[in-house]
């Protein structure tokens, strides 16, 4: 096997908000990637988070790659003037695990970023396990060492323990792991925001004195260059897809062997085993954040190729005379599903230019299948609705939000778990949840988790007034959990979870203890009606907004639904009263986001999504029909 010393392919992985994207930005600036691009200014925004949703939510949703040309002292030690470092910025949230798995299939090593205060958290475990299963070398970066609450020595110890426990887990499953290398993992101490790093512990709360040179030199020293077989035919793996308004669909490729040239005719190895001749019309190499044309690309390089309109993720480009297809990318099974269909409410089609037909919705879901390997779209008993399965509630909510911004009107069902039968038993997906809370909320949170069939596996008190709890809990127990959790902890609690396999069905879980206030007619919500009704519950619609029969307008503290007339107006009379203009104060309505609406919806409710509004409604809008269904269900129970 030959090695390319002038190239490194590395993925930066971490938990949500531990600073991956900030570190990639700092690496780009310090390597001079933007010196030739005067239009890029250092405004404080993360240049790698390019999507609107990514900037709004502050998380990475799509894995992205960039290229850094490093000319520093570490390159000179290798006898090279220039080393290209291809960096994959992966999402930290387990719901986007398909992006992580694709990212790891493109690289030869991993930079693991850990917060100097929070330490390794669940998503750290998720992405690190994937890296160890792929036998990728690891470089640990302890980030945010200048935090006043940093505990660097303890976090290094926790990270080493995590590496060894994961290695033990995968070895117990029959997968080999290099334990000796894990005992000697290099550790870098850094502050990505300040753009500084060090090979030695600067002490809690202190900034390192050097720039990112220690990080660059450690990457070159500990992460190997790509290996390839000399003289082997072309093998290139499609790991992601993009699109260009000028070139059409672009396939992002990692070339494992051989050379790919512009204008060349190669073979496309399909999922079904067939091989189809295709012509590469354009070849693009990444320089910083831009793609520049290239005539050819060799082993280990990550490039974009145009000219193959029907290419999909996991397929391979091979030599037509000696085809050797690469294995398909394997991703974990989806755990959560929801029904997505056309908008069936009385307000459907009111937004000018909205996409409302079943064909448009199905075409959009089919397009999502092309670029998202972790999603599945299945038919239902209705021709205008489909069951969409993915890793988690957040991933599905992101898809619906993207469709809403593209002008679609949808009816979205409440998220459900995807069960499977194992050894003749009905099993459901479980999650490992890590919770950080102030000490005073311990009782309330443990009681909340017990109601949702969660069992505690560990509890640790760091001595700072905060407690860390770990639970194994059914995935369906976490549907609607976050709102209750934030209420119980008064907004101070932090909770994260990752998949933990399947276990036998855990029994009935009470999802929502409150009922709904449901509008019994069409009209506009009036302040007069809402003032009289606010003793009955809280509202999720604003005064003056249009409502229809069957729309959920508020929450009833009692565990039953209540039909209300929220459109009632005050009767006008000719008699003047000294109190005529005196009104009670109306409590402000709670405005629910899309994710909050999906959590809030009860089992017999769904969410209407339009470009202008998100509404919670009953699946069956007619109150008489709902009453008959409830009566039939009660008779069936007795």
Of the candidates 417, 442, 458, which is a domain's last residue? 417
Average pLDDT over residues 267-295: 86
Identify whether residues 380 and 348 lie together within a single domain: yes
Identify whether residues 185 and 271 lie together within a single domain: no
Neighbours of 165 (CB within 10 A): 11
Half-sphere exposure at residue 101, Cβ-oriented, CA atoms within 13 angstroms: 18
Answer yes or no: is 19 a known binding residue: yes
Confidence of residue 55 (pLDDT cuts 50, 70, 90): very low
Identify whether residues 211 and 97 lie together within a single domain: yes
Confidence of residue 590 (pLDDT cuts 50, 70, 90): confident
Domain annotation covers residue 326: no
Q: Is the pLDDT of residue 37 over 60?
A: no
Find the DSSP H helices in 314-441: 358-371, 393-405
Average pLDDT over residues 352-362: 90
Answer yes or no: is 414 a known binding residue: no
Cβ neighbourhood burial of 57 (10 Å; 0-12, 13-18, 19+): middle
Confidence of residue 518 (pLDDT cuts 50, 70, 90): very high
Identify whether residues 186 and 68 lie together within a single domain: yes
Q: Is the pLDDT of residue 249 over 60?
A: yes
Given this model, what pLDDT does residue 392 score? 75
Q: Is the pLDDT of residue 92 over 60?
A: no
Answer yes or no: is 146 a known binding residue: yes
Average pLDDT over residues 559-587: 73
CA distance to 154, 448, 465, per residue, from 461 (Å): 13, 20, 8
Of the candidates 393, 417, 441, which is a domain's last residue? 417
| Residues of the domain holding 286 | 235-318
Given this model, what pLDDT does residue 101 score? 66
Identify whether residues 531 and 500 lie together within a single domain: no
Domain annotation covers residue 405: yes
β-pairing verdict for 562-564 and 515-519 = parallel
Q: Tell me which of 482 and 435 has the higher pLDDT.
A: 435
Answer yes or no: is 144 a known binding residue: yes
Given this model, what pLDDT does residue 64 score? 63
CA dist., res. 253 & res. 302, Å (int):
6
Confidence of residue 385 (pLDDT cuts 50, 70, 90): very high
The CATH number for 372's domain is 3.30.70.870
Of the candidates 417, 439, 468, which is a domain's last residue? 417
Answer yes or no: is 20 a known binding residue: yes
Average pLDDT over residues 460-484: 82
Nearest to 495 by CA among 118, 73, 164, 85: 118
Identify whether residues 70 and 161 lie together within a single domain: yes
Q: Tell me which of 470 and 392 has the higher pLDDT.
A: 470
- Give phi and psi for 394, each to the nearest 5: -65, -45
Given this model, what pLDDT does residue 608 score? 94
Domain annotation covers residue 111: yes
Burial 338-350 (b: 16+ CB within 10 A, else e): bbbbbbbbbbbee
Domain annotation covers residue 327: no
Neighbours of 318 (CB within 10 A): 22
Average pLDDT over residues 355-367: 91
The CATH number for 523's domain is 2.40.50.250
Q: How many domains, the chain?
A: 5
Average pLDDT over residues 487-516: 81
Identify whether residues 469 and 589 lie together within a single domain: no
Answer yes or no: is 489 a known binding residue: no
Q: Is the pLDDT of residue 624 over 50?
A: yes
pLDDT per residue over 157-200, tens digit each?
988 888 888 787 777 766 666 666 667 789 999 998 888 999 99
CB 456 within 8 A of CB 518: no
Identify whether residues 40 and 122 lie together within a single domain: yes
CA dist., res. 322 & res. 267, Å (int):
9
The CATH number for 462's domain is 3.30.70.240
Tokens encoding 352: 């000018």
CB 162 within 8 A of CB 135: no
Answer yes or no: is 87 a known binding residue: no
Identify whether residues 499 and 519 lie together within a single domain: no
Tokens encoding 431: 């999650």
Domain annotation covers residue 597: yes
Given this model, what pLDDT does residue 61 score? 43
Average pLDDT over residues 56-76: 69
Domain annotation covers residue 41: yes
Q: Is the pLDDT of residue 38 over 50?
A: no
Tokens encoding 184: 């000697």
Q: Which residue shows structure tokens 């790919």? A: 260
Given this model, what pLDDT does residue 371 score? 65
For residue 485, give the H/E element and its range. Answer: helix 481-488
Q: Is the pLDDT of residue 45 over 50?
A: no
Domain annotation covers residue 169: yes
Identify whether residues 340 and 460 lie together within a single domain: no
* Length of the chain in terms of residues written: 638
Burial 294-311 (b: 16+ CB within 10 A, else e): bebbebbbbbbbbbbeeb
Tell me the average pLDDT of the chain.
82
Answer yes or no: is 143 a known binding residue: yes
Given this model, what pLDDT does residue 72 score? 84
pTM above 0.85, yes or no: no
Identify whether residues 543 and 427 lie together within a single domain: no
Domain annotation covers residue 130: yes
Dihedral sign computed on CA atoms, order 520, 521, 527, 532: negative
Identify whether residues 161 and 17 lie together within a single domain: yes
Answer yes or no: is 22 a known binding residue: yes
């Amino acid at each position: 096997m030959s090695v390319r010393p002038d190239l490194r392919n590395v993925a930066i992985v971490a938990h949500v908000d531990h600073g991956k994207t900030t570190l990639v930005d700092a690496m780009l600036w310090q390597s001079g990637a933007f010196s030739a691009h005067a239009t890029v200014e250092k405004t404080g925004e993360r240049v790698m988070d390019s999507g609107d949703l990514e900037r709004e939510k502050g998380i990475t949703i799509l894995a992205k790659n960039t290229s850094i040309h490093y000319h520093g002292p570490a390159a000179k030690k290798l006898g090279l003037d220039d080393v290209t470092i291809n960096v994959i910025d992966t999402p930290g949230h387990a719901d986007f695990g398909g992006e992580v798995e694709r990212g790891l299939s493109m690289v030869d090593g991993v930079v693991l970023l850990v917060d100097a205060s929070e330490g390794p958290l669940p998503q750290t475990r998720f992405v690190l396990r994937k890296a160890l299963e792929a036998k990728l070398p690891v470089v640990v970066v302890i980030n945010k060492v200048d935090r006043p609450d940093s505990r660097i020595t303890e976090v290094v110890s926790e990270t080493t323990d995590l590496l060894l426990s994961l290695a033990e887990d995968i070895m117990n499953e029959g997968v080999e792991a290099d334990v000796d290398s894990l005992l000697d993992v290099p550790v870098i101490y850094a502050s990505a925001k300040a753009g500084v790093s060090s090979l030695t512990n600067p002490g809690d709360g202190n900034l390192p004195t050097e720039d990112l040179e220690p990080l660059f030199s450690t990457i070159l020293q500990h992460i190997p260059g790509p290996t390839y077989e000399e003289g082997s035919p072309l093998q290139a793996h499609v790991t992601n897809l993009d699109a260009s308004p000028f070139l059409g669909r672009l396939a992002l490729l990692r070339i494992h062997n051989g050379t790919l040239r512009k204008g060349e005719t190669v073979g496309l190895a399909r999922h079904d085993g067939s091989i189809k001749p295709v012509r590469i019309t354009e070849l693009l190499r990444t320089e910083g954040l831009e793609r520049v044309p290239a005539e050819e690309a060799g082993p280990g390089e990550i490039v974009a190729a145009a000219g193959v309109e029907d290419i999909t993720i996991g397929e391979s480009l091979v030599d037509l005379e000696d085809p050797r297809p690469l294995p398909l990318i394997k991703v974990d099974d989806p755990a959560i599903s929801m029904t997505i269909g056309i908008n069936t409410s009385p307000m459907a089609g009111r937004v000018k230019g909205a996409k409302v037909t079943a064909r448009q919705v199905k075409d959009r879901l089919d397009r999502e299948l092309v670029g998202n390997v972790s999603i599945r779209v299945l038919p239902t008993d209705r021709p205008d609705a489909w069951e969409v399965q993915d890793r988690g509630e957040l991933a599905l909510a992101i898809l619906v939000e993207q469709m809403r911004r593209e002008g679609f009107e949808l009816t979205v069902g409440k998220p459900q778990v995807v069960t499977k039968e194992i050894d003749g038993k009905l099993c459901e997906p479980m999650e490992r949840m890590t919770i950080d809370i102030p000490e005073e909320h311990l009782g309330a949170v443990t009681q909340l988790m017990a109601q949702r069939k969660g069992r505690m596996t560990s509890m640790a008190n760091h001595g700072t007034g905060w407690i860390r709890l770990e639970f194994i809990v059914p995935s369906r127990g976490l549907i609607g959990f976050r709102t209750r959790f934030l209420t119980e902890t008064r907004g101070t609690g932090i909770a994260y979870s990752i998949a933990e396999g399947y276990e036998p069905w855990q029994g009935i879980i009470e999802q929502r203890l409150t009922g709904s206030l449901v509008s019994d007619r069409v009209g506009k919500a009036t302040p007069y009606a809402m003032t009289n009704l606010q003793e009955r519950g809280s509202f999720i619609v604003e005064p003056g907004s249009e409502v229809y029969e069957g729309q959920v307008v508020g929450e009833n503290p009692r565990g039953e639904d209540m039909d209300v007339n929220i459109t009632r107006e005050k009767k006008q009379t000719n008699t003047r009263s000294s109190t005529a203009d005196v009104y009670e104060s109306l409590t402000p309505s709670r405005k629910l986001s899309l994710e909050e609406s999906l959590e809030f919806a009860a089992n017999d409710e769904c969410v209407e999504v339009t470009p202008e509004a998100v509404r919670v409604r009953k699946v069956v809008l007619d109150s008489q029909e709902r009453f008959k269904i409830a009566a039939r269900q009660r008779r069936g129970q007795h």
